[in-house]
Structures are given as structure tokens and as C-alpha cells.
Structure 1
Amino acid sequence: MALKTDSLQITPQVLALVAEIDEFKGAWRALGTLAPERLSALRRVATIESVGSSTRIEGSKLTDAEVKRLLSNLEIKSFESRDEQEVAGYAQVMEMIFAHFDAIDLTENHIMQLHRDLLSFSDKDERHRGAYKTLANHVSAFDADGKEIGVVFETATPFDTPHRMKELIEWTYKALNEQSLHPLLVIATFIVVFLEIHPFQDGNGRLSRVLTTLLLMRSGYAYVPYSSMESVIENSKEGYYLALRQTQKTIRGDAPDWQPWITYFLRALQQQKRRLEKKIERERLVLGTLPELSLQIVDAVKERGRVTIGEIVNLTGANRNTVKKHLATLTQAKHLTQHGTGKGTWYGL
């Protein structure tokens, strides 16, 4: 059954959201003129947030600090817990997309390859990674003890999955190439239908967010790696699931209601963009006014999350009293916050 997108209404609200996001997309070349090392620092922070948030949405318990530690040791290629395995797989796939998005077209083979790589460290998923589901995987609700209490949403059957995926990919490819719909609306539609099909036994939510990043970057939204969309979704998880369900239950009907999901999706992109605007403004402010030692201190705090006076002295080789003066200035200007007193004092953003 062909996707019915003729019921997709371009409301004034949708138009305003698309215009705001596209204005930032066009301005990114000017906004993104920070020094390469500053952009790299922004991307590192956003990647940690994205990996942490996307895996926590699916039940992982790792904090961003734990994710950061894990990512600094990815070369070990051996992870004890399922949470660690999922984080390692997600981080590896995101880095591949950032580096090679222009070479990864939207095809069934590429989607299956991304799924395989996403679960490459997950022992439990070894049998089904990179292959469509063979068992029903309806979305269920569970009680506090982990017992299933009912089906929230029925996904495509294993029998229907291959032709529904083929249909979805062909529609998306055609819509993006013919520009019959704005790319943001095409991407939003692809994601909600992909999750309605739920084509793989596991990992569909994480893969949908990987594919969102891929499609956005392929559509020219080059700023995406520097601000975490996954973090926005984690912070509005109830709205995320509500919007998905409201649209998904209508997709196979005569008049699909695309509006709840598309509005949520565009608002999430708006939030992602606004967060990055604030970060860029802060970077500019810092870069334009602070002396070199102060910049080194701010970088150290961004890198580590928190620092002590002794750590800064060791890192920079600067005199202890000089470091104290710079910290006092940074704290007074609200670039940093002081925590504790005496020997237990440390500084954070």
C-alpha cells in the first residue's frame, strides 16, 4: 500500500518551524567559523550527549560521564555489560556517519549494514543483526517488575516487513530527489513509518536516530554533529512517544494524521538548533574576551567536566596564584561556577 502523504497539511506552524531551521542552516557557514579545535570540542560534547541519550531512551543506565570514559577506551573492543555494548556500537556508527555521510545513500543494504554495525558489540543480538525480524516485535508496556501488561502498538509482521521497507525507501528516495516535499518533512515521514514497521528484532529506536542524523546531513544540515538531537528527545520522552503513537495508529488508514509527529519532530530540531546557537554565542564571547590562560582553563573544564586548582596548575604549568586570579575572574563573569571551599574546591561550567 503506497504511503498517503496527500493528507500532510503544511500549517502556518509547520512553515514557521521549517523557515527557522532553514535560516540557521543557511547561516551555519558564518556561525561555524570557530577555530577547528573549538568545533572539535563542541562535537565531542554533542557526541557524548547523543550516545548517552539515545541508549538511555532504550533503557541504558550509563550517565554521560560513564559514556565519556567508555568512549575514551573504545579500542579495547570488549565490553562487559549490555549497556556498554550498546554505547560502543552507537558511538562507532555515529563517527562513521559524520565522516562518510555523503557516501552512505539510503538503500536497504546500507540500512542493514548500519544495523549490523550498531549491534556489532552486542552478544545477545548476534543472530539477528543486519537482518529483518523473523518474529513479531509489537511495542508493549511493562510494569515495574518487567512483566508485560499489554501491547501498546502493533508493528508490521515479519512477512510484511521486506516489502514495506522497500516501499518506504523508494518513496523517500523519490521524494528527496524530486523535491516534491521539503526534505525535513520527508525525513520526518520516513522516521515515523520506519518505527511503525519496526523492521529489526531489536535496535529500531537507536537506528532511527542514526538514520535521522544521516538523512539530515545528506540534506545539507551540516551543523547536526555539533548539537545533540538525541538529548532533546530524551528530555521530552513522553511527548516523543505520544507523537509517535498518535501518528502511527493512523498510517495504514485512509487519512493518516501526520501532524502530531511532524510537529514534534520539527520542534525537536528547533530545540537542537537553539541549543547550538547558545553554545556558539558562548564560544564567541569567550574567544573574543578572554586571555590565553583563561581559555585553557575553560577548555579543561569542558573536557573534564570539573577541575581543581592543582589540576589546572599541572595542565598549564602556570603559577598557582596566577591560576587563582584567572579562576576568580572567570567565576565572577559566570563562565565558571565554584563548588566547595578550601582544599575541596573545584570548578565547573
Structure 2
Amino acid sequence: MIVSENIRITPEILKLVARIDEFKGAWQALGRLAPDRLTALRRVATIESVGSSTRIEGSRLSDLEVDRLLSNLQVTAFSSRDEQEVAGYAELMELMFSSWPDIPLTENHIKQLHQILLGHSKKDAWHRGKYKTHPNNVAAFDEYGRQVGIVFQTASPLDTPRLMSELVFWTTDQLRLSGLHPLLVIAVFVVVFLEIHPFQDGNGRLSRILTTLLLLQAGYAYVPYSSLESIVERNKEGYYQALRRTQATIRSQRPDWQPWLLFFLRSLAEQVRRLEQKIEREVRVLANLPELSAQIVEFAREHGRITMAQAIKLTGSSRNTLKQHFRDLVAGGVLARHGKGRGAWYAMEVSTMSRNHGGEERV
């Protein structure tokens, strides 16, 4: 059983929780940005989240490749496992954003979410939506995909149903009773879920989806607009260290929750900081742009990219006039150009971020 009395509320934990809750309140009170701006922010964050969460597990698709794939999700067959994982994660994220009030935390729903997550992978058809039947200790991989060691041991298949039942009951009970702050409850749920590793594969990705679900249900409505997954990807070493240190003690008499709680809350605080910066940049950039440039930027934010032909149709301006505006936006770091000649297109600079193809660990 999970004993909440073992969680020590340190000054840093209090400070981090207060910081996150302060932004939560401000976001709800102010409404922040116009709907089209929110749509654009969410699209960029979704690309970051899908790319980062799948790369943590070994995918090698960059954010630009993820962007292209998400623009063509009506495709029903994907050529590689990386594409299958990206498609499944993206579809499940969209379900979270649209239906989170209607997805209670139950074992049945968790299994259904796992089934959707792996829905595009024929290789995983035999275990989709079912608890594991074989041991699945978490391994580390080098940049060539070769296993180099075991990160931590997970629960046995025999113990998994009981442990998941206990975890779900404890989490829903704590969230209902409000005895422990919801951020701490969510943090404990995630680390114990990963320690159990209830499914044969896809546990890491599903843990991040469930984190989003629980945060939205706890009232953290800004979550879709800033990628938590990208923060984890950029600090994978700290992520795995925190997991290992806490998970090694979970089944002991005195679990040490501190390493994971601090990593989790610091990551949420960084998520808030990044979103604040994006909002400030949105306001600053739009305030200083000529009207024609602002139209171009708004279209690129809403649709993910813009071409010269689209800009001509949108604004009614000449190609020569628009060329200068595009040059200024690229020089100012607002847009990034992709391709050459008449096939060129432009996207928001912030969406061209991570292209990390180094060694990955699977969780």
C-alpha cells in the first residue's frame, strides 16, 4: 500500500506547488490569449509532446518529421514503427484534450487508452489493452538501439493486477478526499505506475498521457499549451535518476518519494515558465509587426505553415511585397524557411526545435 504519511513536504516542495498553482489561477482568471492564438500554441506544444515522448522511448523522428506526419494522419498504414508510435500518441493526445472530463481513472479506461496508444502497431496487437504476461524490466539502449543494461526491475506479471488495483484505488481516493495536494497525488501515481510497468510495452508513453489527463482533471487547464514531455526529454538523465532512486524504495517500509517529487514539480514549474515566455513573446511580436506581417504570422500559427501562394491569396498583396515581409520575419527569428524556390514554405521558428538523435532509453 502507498502511505501518504511518508511524503515529506519540504520548503522547496511548498514553493514549487505554490508557483504552479499561482499560474493555474492566473490562467483561469485572465483567459490569456485569443482562441486562434491558443490553437496555434496548442499545435506547437502537441508536436513537441508527441516528438519528445516517442523519442524518449527510442524513436528517431524529429519534430519537423512529426509535424509532417501529423498533417497527414488520415493515412491508415505507416511504414515504420516510429511512425506508428507517433500516430498512436498523437491520436491519444487529441482524445485527452477533447474528452478528458469523460475519462475517469479506472483500470478499464487505462486499458482502453493503452489499446488506442498502440492501435497502429500490428506487432503490438497481441498485448494491446492487456496487462503484461511476461517480465518487462526497463532497459537502457545506446545510439544504435543496442541494449546496454537494466535501468530498474518492474513488478512481476503475477503481481501486476493487484498492484494496479491498489494504485488506482489510492489515487482516486486521495483526489476525492483532497487530503493530499493533487500535484503530489499525480506525482506518486506516475512513479508507482512506472514501477509496476503494467503493460508489455508503451508504459512510458502511457504514463505521460495519464499525467496530462490527471492534470487537466485537477484544473490545470494550461497543460495542452506547453509541452511537459519536451522538458523530460531535455533532462532524461535527471528523469531516470529520480525514477531509479524512488522506485528502488517504493516496496520498502519507508519509501523515499523526494527524488521523484522534486523532479516532477520542477518539471511542471519549468512548463509554466516556458508558457509564460511564449505568451510574452506572442504579445511582443504581434504588437511590433506591420499589419501584413501579422496576417502572415497568424496564418502560420493557426495552420502550422504558410506558403507564398497562400500568403498572396490571404492578403491580396503582390509576390514582391510579400517577399520582403517573409525576409524580415525570417531575419527576426519569427519564421523559419523550409525548402527552396516556389516549393518553399514557412513555419513558426519555435516549432523547429528538437532534433536530438542521440542514444535513447526505453521506459
Counterpart CA distance in 2 for 1:338 and 1:103 is 39
Q: Given that residues 31 and 280 in structure 1 are in contact (C-alpha distance below 8 angstroms), is that contact kept between their aligned partners in structure 2?
A: no
- For residues 299 and 217 of structure 2, the distance between their equivalents in structure 1, rounded to whole angstroms, comes to 33
User: In the alignment, what sits opposite 2:334?
Assistant: 336
Paired amino acid for 1:10: I
Q: Is the 8 A contact 2:215 2:223 kept in 1?
A: yes
What whole-Å deviation, never above 9, does each CA across 1:73-106 have from its counterpart, x for those lacking one? 1112211111111111101111011001001000
2:64 corresponds to: 65
**1:39-84: per-residue Cα shift (whole Å, max 9, x none)?**
1111111111111110000000111111111111111221111111
Distance in 2 (alpha carbons) for counterparts of 1:145 and 1:309: 40
SS at match of 1:76: coil
Number of the residue aligned with 1:122? 121
**Highest RCO, 1 vs 2 (Cα 8 Å, sep ≥ 6):** 2
Select between 179-188 and 309-318 the one with higher mean Cα deviation. 309-318
Q: What CA distance in whole angstroms lies between the structure 1 residues aligned with 2:94 and 2:305?
A: 26
TM-score, normalization by structure 2: 0.88
**Which sections of structure 1, spanning at least 5 residues, go unmatched?**
none
Task: Call closer, same or farther: CA 1:145–1:273 in 2, change over 3 Å.
Answer: closer
Question: In structure 2, do the counterparts of structure 1 residues 249 and 96 end up closer, same or farther at CA, with 3 Å as the change threshold?
Answer: same
The aligned amino acid for 2:98 is: A
Query: Residue deviations 1:1-48, cap 9 Å, x none?
Result: x11221211110000000000000000034533221111111111111
1-side partners of 2:160 and 2:115: how far apart? 17
**2:61 and 2:303 mapped to 1: Cα distance?**
17
TM-score computed with the length of structure 1 as normaliser: 0.91
Q: CA RMSD in A?
A: 2.5
Q: 1:316 to 1:251 in 2, by over 3 A?
A: same
Aligned residue runs from structure 1 range 187-336, under 5 A = 187-302=186-301, 312-313=311-312, 316-327=315-326, 330=329, 334=332, 336=334
In structure 1, C-alpha distance between the alignment counterparts of 2:122 and 2:303, rounded to whole Å? 31
Does structure 2 conserve the Cα–Cα contact (< 8 Å) formed by 1:141 and 1:149?
A: yes
Distance 1:346 1:156, change over 3 A: closer
Aligned residue number for residue 41 of structure 1:
40
- Do the aligned partners of residues 308 and 114 (structure 1) sit closer, same or farther apart at CA in structure 2, a change above 3 Å counting? closer
Which residue number corresponds to residue 133 of structure 1?
132
Q: Distance in 1 between matches of 2:66 and 2:329?
A: 28
1:23 matched residue in structure 2: 22
The share of aligned pairs that are identical, in percent, is 62
- Check the 8 A contact 1:25/1:222 in 2, yes or no: yes
Q: Kindly state the Cα deviation for residue 294 of structure 1 after the two structures are TM-superposed.
A: 1.3
> Alignment partner of 2:139: what SS?
strand
Task: Say which SS state the counterpart of residue 74 (structure 2) adopts.
Answer: helix
- Structure 2 vs 1, CA of residues 339 and 222 (structure 1 numbering), >3 Å: closer, same or farther? closer
Q: In the superposition, relative to structure 1, how do residues 37 and 300 fare at CA in structure 2: closer, same or farther (>3 Å)?
A: closer
Q: Runs of 5+ in structure 2 lacking a partner?
A: 350-363
